[in-house]
Amino acid sequence: MSDAREVFFIAGEVSGDRHAAPVVRALVDEGLRVCGVGGKSMADAGAELLADATDWGAIGITESVRRYPGLCLQARRLRRIIAARRPAVVVLVDFGYFNCWMARQVKKAGLSRVVYYFPPGSWRQQARDWSWLASITDLVLTPFSVNAGHLQASGVNVRWVGHPVVDMLSPAPDRAALRGELGLPPTSPCIGLLPGSRGMERGCLGPKMLQAAAVIRDAVPSAHFLWSSVDRPGGTEAALNRRLQGLAGVTAVADSHRILRASDLVVTKMGTVTLEAAAALTPMVATYDGPWLAKFFFDAIQRHAQRFYAMPNLLMGEQIVPEVVPDSYRQSVTGAALAQEALALLGDPAATATMQEGLGRVREKLGEPGVSQRVARWIALAATQDSDLPL
């Protein structure tokens, strides 16, 4: 028999944990029990963690293959737990391949209702057949309005809820004051460096961003940098920390949102962080690099299938922010190329203003604040409503 007061989350990586946490908090405040898979943010919000998924995420074929056996074991373990606990709702957050497998298993066995928050590929703007998703979910909550239209056309029970970055970040009314809180000169140029949270990302992009910082500082001696730090043991972070010690004018900050709001400009990896920067109206240079094998498969499968890679550009169908990516798997991003784009923006207030106008349009496209509360209301309704969905 299903437990009408329990909601089971599966958020399989750091970004999913961050998006799920405010929803978990809202559900707990409503008296529902929340358990499942996530990370520190979900645990702090009141979820009972049955597995820590902080390191489950993978980028590229090599890292995915390495993690595959362990994730298969975790998936089967979670299916047994869900079968034993019979929660009212299983909420899946992003993490496409893994969570789609879990959705099929839960629906096939009739264990619980399935709500998918951040469905796989929701950022894609092209129409496609999503009918397979209708067969494995009871409700889909998508952050993107275009995706909601595509899903509905395929028969998916879907609601557009907006993107949670608009809850998390807003434009800073006084960036200079924020820099002062960090001990930086309030009038000096401040550049954020955001190489990501995963070890592979930081190993590939971190050194290049620090090279770019050195070039920028040579051109603009008053420039200061905010480095997005992570507390993780290992050779990658030790090597990056040694590089940091040799570079003047760099402050390590663990809170990436603080960096986004305090910086005049950020150099950032691709992904959700570019939408966070857009929500803060912070100009940016977006980049991606990785191991040659990951870039080889990217070349073979995806490079010619889309014009843009940074999320603001994808959503708007035009270049809002500059993208620095390898021309092929044989090449790599350089610190000099990142510095060139950053210096061009620092030296051109008109271009920066134009970009901020474009980022404002991106923010509008992400919906109104209150996203996490809306998501929590739909999940709570799915958990407590006796009749079949649609709601």
Report the alpha-carbon distance of residue 190 to residue 55 in Å, rounded: 31
Report the alpha-carbon distance of residue 53 to residue 38 in Å, rounded: 5
Give the contacts of 330 (CB within 8 A, at least 6 positions apart): 292
Whether 144 and 282 map to the same domain: the answer is no
pLDDT value, residue 382: 93
pLDDT value, residue 289: 87
Q: What is the CATH number of the domain that holds 287?
A: 3.40.50.2000
Number of domains into which the chain is organized: 2
Q: Dihedral, CA atoms, 298, 300, 305, 311, nearest 10 degrees?
A: 0
Whether 273 and 373 map to the same domain: the answer is no
Whether 252 and 268 map to the same domain: the answer is yes
- For 151, the domain range is 3-162+368-384
Report the alpha-carbon distance of residue 139 to residue 60 in Å, rounded: 30
Contact 301, 268 (CB under 8 A): no
Q: Hey, is 198 helix, strand or coil?
A: coil
Q: Name which of 41, 342, 320 is nearest 217 in CA terms.
A: 342
pLDDT tens-digit series, residues 134-168: 999 999 999 999 999 999 999 999 999 999 999 99
Contact 114, 103 (CB under 8 A): yes
pLDDT tens-digit series, residues 189-226: 999 999 998 888 888 999 999 999 999 999 999 999 99
Q: Is the pLDDT of residue 61 over 50?
A: no
Q: What is the mean pLDDT of residues 68-82?
A: 89
Whether 285 and 376 map to the same domain: the answer is no
Q: Beta partners for 369?
A: none
Percent of the chain exceeding pLDDT 70 equals 90
Residue 387 burial (CB count, 10 A): 6
Whether 360 and 372 map to the same domain: the answer is no
Q: In this structure, what DSSP letter does residue 289 have? A: -
Report the alpha-carbon distance of residue 189 to residue 105 in Å, rounded: 52
